Amino acid sequence: MYNLKEVIQKENRLSPGHRMCAGCGAPPIVRGVLRALEPNDNAVIACATGCLEVSTCIYPYTSWKNCSFLHTAFECTAAALSGAETAYNSLKKKGKITKNTKFIAFGGDGGTLDIGLQSLSGALERRHDITYVCYDNGAYMNTGTQRSSSTPHFADTTTSPVGNKLPGKTYARKDLTEIVAKHNIPYVAQTALIGNLKDLYEKAQKAIYTEGPTYISAFSPCPRGWGYPTEELASLEKLAVETCFWPLYEITNGVYKITYKPANKKPIEEFLKLQKRFKHMLEPGNEWMIKKLQNEIDEKWEFLLEMESMTNK
């Protein structure tokens, strides 16, 4: 058991001296995950090229504290961390290292669901003792808001623009949480931070201290790419969970558990109306888009309820 007040007082291993945008979801996610580390444990952090990396490591400065930091290209974050973990195990076996070290990767959806998918899949299949955290903001935000495979259905991006020919992205987002679960690894989770610090902390702690490969997909709003006021970060995160756009659940050795069930599931319009990327969906004549997206969300929620029931027998 733990005391949440004591957890909050733990040292931030990501200092406030970074240059991430105001209202970005990624920095609080990183802090929440790293707080799950035991104070005396070392950590090797691998970070894919992207918003988080370029904003926290501007030579000669770094915002990362009390950890070893490894910047990688988009496509090889999990592979690089796997190599570091293998080298550590060899040195520890030879008695040259005694300190306990954990291996954690952070990558956006572009570097995780798309460009880095094969190295992530390989690291999971080889059963490296690493934790991979995807801060999912639903597009390539660092390079101009191009769509990724995590971009939601109908979202307006620079490469899936709304106009006379396109209604935004024309198909549903990739569900990497479920794809990763099919690798039969010991722990997979989906979480959000604001209003759910307990959820994030508990899942991060399980992931980091479970032997073998583990994966967390964390909801990470982007004010520039999504078009919401920075002060609405908390409201947006809460609505994503309350509408089940971003359900909170975990899969432990194949057993599903929904960690939060809204008492009154809100309609998806409540989530959409705070964001410019979805404003066209709220215009007269586009009700079919809302209905289509709502059906996709409802189907996923029913799937999770069914899987929870089936795997807990």
Tokens of 212: 């073998």
Neighbour tally for 166: CB within 10 Å: 12
Cα dihedral 160→163→164→167 (10° resolution): 50
Across the 313 residues of the chain, what is the mean pLDDT of every consecutive 10-residue run? 76 89 94 93 95 91 92 95 98 94 97 97 98 97 96 98 95 97 98 82 97 98 97 94 97 97 96 98 97 98 98 91
SS3 206: helix
In terms of pTM, does the model score above 0.85? Answer: yes
- Phi-psi region at 171: left, alpha or beta (left = phi > 0; alpha = psi -120 to 50): beta
Kindly give the residue spans of alpha helices, DSSP state H, lying in the chain. Answer: 4-8, 26-34, 51-56, 77-93, 109, 117-125, 176-181, 197-208, 223-226, 233-242, 269-272, 287-311
Cα–Cα dist 112/125, whole Å = 16
Cα–Cα dist 125/153, whole Å = 30
Neighbour tally for 95: CB within 10 Å: 7
Cα–Cα dist 177/250, whole Å = 9
Question: Which CATH fold would you assign to the domain 4-311?
Answer: Rossmann fold (3.40.50)
Output the pLDDT for position 217.
98
SS3 26: helix
Output the pLDDT for position 58.
86
Output the pLDDT for position 16.
85
Domain positions in the chain: 4-311
In this structure, the strands spanning 187-191 and 131-136 are unpaired
Q: Residue holding tokens 């954990």?
A: 102
Q: Which residues contact 252 (CB under 8 A, 6 or more apart)?
A: 186, 187, 206
Residue 255 CA: distances (Å) to CA of 3, 224, 306: 27, 37, 12
Q: 232-236: long-range contacts (C-beta < 8 A, 24 or more apart)? A: 232/23, 232/274, 233/23, 233/24, 233/25, 233/194, 234/194, 234/195, 235/274, 236/271, 236/274, 236/275
How many degrees, rounded to 5, is the angle at CA 301 between CA 297 and CA 302? 120
DSSP state letters, 80-133? HHHHHHHHHHHHHHTTS--S-EEEEEEEEHIIIIITTHHHHHHHHHTT-S-EEE
Helices (H) and strands (E) in the chain, counts: 12, 8
CB 295 within 8 A of CB 244: no
